[in-house]
Chains A and B, each alone.
Chain A
């Protein structure tokens, strides 16, 4: 079945540091890939997505590239801020199937 594996947290960084959260997937067919973010006390928000190989999703300074050859969709940001502290979920979906989420990575940014 489809599955998503993302790096375990928690991840703690200083402000302005470079961020990478690894995400790899297993899927039949050609999935769409997503990164969601969950701020404290809130639901999930779609951060970015990519629907085919080599697509790059970007939003709010975050980027991720759909790499079919390595079945990966790593999340990156060049300079994190305290306001980026949240839990990040990598997810995939194939046609007519439900969203499958990774376990989530808690990110804390210290000033």
Chain B
């Protein structure tokens, strides 16, 4: 069974640009969560989607948004990039609601903002 896949794996952007990251969950999984990992802040929760609906949201500005499609694939978008957005963005999928099910993480997308 294929694991969680994230594309692209690496991305370099400049300040002010926008970026879209993609996550394909494990087949059959209906929930996707996104996390930002930085050396200074550690792992911080961005948002969680279940059956195309955002179920939970972390404390990030509105520049960070996401969505989930009917096939459970998810995208997150960051607009007007700032230097501080440089991070590893991790996606995790679970069979059902992540509060009750194990989350499986992808390898991440490393975003560098110059």
Interface set of A (CB-CB < 8 Å, partner B): 36, 41-46, 49, 89, 93, 95-104
Interface set of B (CB-CB < 8 Å, partner A): 4, 33, 42-43, 45, 48, 56, 58, 90, 92, 97-100, 102-108
- Contact residues in A for B56 (Cβ distance below 8 Å): 97-98
Do B99 and A95 touch (CB < 8 A)? Answer: yes
Shortest distance from the beta carbon of B58 to any chain A beta carbon, whole Å: 7
5 residue pairs, one from A and one from B, having the closest CB atoms: A43-B105, A101-B43, A44-B105, A98-B45, A103-B42
- Contact residues in A for B100 (Cβ distance below 8 Å): 95
- The answer to whether A101 and B102 touch (CB under 8 A), given A43-B108, A44-B90, is no
Do B4 and A43 touch (CB < 8 A)? Answer: yes
Which residue of chain A lies nearest to B6 when distances are taken between CB atoms in the complex?
Answer: A43
Shortest distance from the beta carbon of A44 to any chain B beta carbon, whole Å: 4
Shortest distance from the beta carbon of A101 to any chain B beta carbon, whole Å: 4
- The answer to whether A99 and B98 touch (CB under 8 A), given A104-B42, A104-B43, is yes
From the candidates B99, B105, B106, B108, name the one contacting A96 in the complex (CB within 8 A). Answer: B99
Shortest distance from the beta carbon of B67 to any chain A beta carbon, whole Å: 18
Do A45 and B45 touch (CB < 8 A)? Answer: no
- Contact residues in A for B92 (Cβ distance below 8 Å): 43-44
**Within the assembled complex, what's the spacing in Å between the Cα atoms of A101 and B45?**
9
- The answer to whether A43 and B106 touch (CB under 8 A), given A102-B42, A104-B43, is yes
From the candidates A41, A42, A93, A98, name the one contacting B58 in the complex (CB within 8 A). Answer: A98
**Within the assembled complex, what's the spacing in Å between the Cα atoms of A22 and B45?**
23
**Within the assembled complex, what's the spacing in Å between the Cα atoms of A101 and B108?**
17
**Within the assembled complex, what's the spacing in Å between the Cα atoms of A68 and B106?**
31
- The answer to whether A97 and B43 touch (CB under 8 A), given A43-B4, A43-B108, A44-B90, is no
